[in-house]
Amino acid sequence: MEKRGKFLEGNLLEKNRKAQFYLIAAIIIVMILVGLSGLVNYISTRKKPVRFYDLSEELSEEGTRVVDYGIYTDIEIPKIIRNFTSEYFIYYTEEKERGSELVFVYGNEDNITTSSYTTENTGTISVDYGPSSFTLSGKNKYVENKTSFDPPGTQVTVKLLGTKYDFNLQEGENFFFVLTKNKTDETYIAGNPI
């Protein structure tokens, strides 16, 4: 009897070791799967340019107020919007979010004006004196391209960076814009009514 008990006891120890091995192997496999799923679900995001979107919101608010002011004081709307865009907002944009590009569409069902402002580098200046020299880099400045036309219908389409933006003309005065910013390998676009 004694031999039989030792045999069963040894067999149980061997079974316990096998069970421990399978349990540890299962735990390791589960840990590997959890680790891999954690790697697969990881997404890296970049910060959105907050100042860019703030600028878009400010332009939307101020543009509406400028049109309302022009209607209220009976000033020519194209003249007051032109003054707002070229004399005020371009300089504000340059200070707040340098390198942004803008397209303004304003007017009514009889005449529409589009103004685009793109940045252009003024170039570099090289100075040589004797054995020494240095280079001054120019700065980017806004260049305006303006077109006025009679709209053939109630819709104006602006094509910018390969994308079309449709603006539906409402009765009365209209003010629309598209604001873009290229930053490294991303392009940010905001506008009204985008």
CB 33 within 8 A of CB 167: no
Q: Which of 27, 44, 61 is the last residue of a domain?
A: 44
Q: Could you tell me the two tokens for 100? A: 């942004």
The pLDDT value recorded for residue 28 is 93
64 and 83 share a domain? Answer: yes
Instruction: Answer yes or no: do 133 and 59 share one domain.
Output: yes
For 136, residues 6+ apart whose C-beta sits below 8 A from its C-beta are 124, 125, 126, 127
Pair 37, 62 in one domain: no
Number of H helices, E strands in the chain: 4, 9
Residue 69 belongs to what domain range?
50-192
Residues of the chain with pLDDT under 50: 1
Indicate if 89 and 69 belong to the same structural domain.
Answer: yes
User: Quick one: 65 and 37 in the same domain?
Assistant: no
Do both 106 and 164 map to the same domain? yes
CA dihedral 83, 84, 88, 91 (to 10 degrees): -100
Is residue 30 domain-shared with residue 57, that is, in the same domain?
Answer: no
Sign of CA dihedral 76, 79, 85, 88: negative
**Do 39 and 56 sit in the same domain of this protein?**
no
For the chain, what is the domain count? 2
Residues 1 and 59 in one domain: no
| pLDDT at 137 (0 to 100) | 63
Among 44, 64, 79, the domain boundary falls at: 44
Percentages of the chain per state (helix, strand, coil), in multiples of 5: 45, 35, 20
**Shared-domain flag, residues 66 and 146:** yes
- 32 & 58 share domain: no
Q: What is the per-residue pLDDT for 13?
A: 60
- Would you say the pTM of this structure is higher than 0.85? no
Residue 63's SS3 state is helix
Q: Do 187 and 97 belong together in one domain?
A: yes
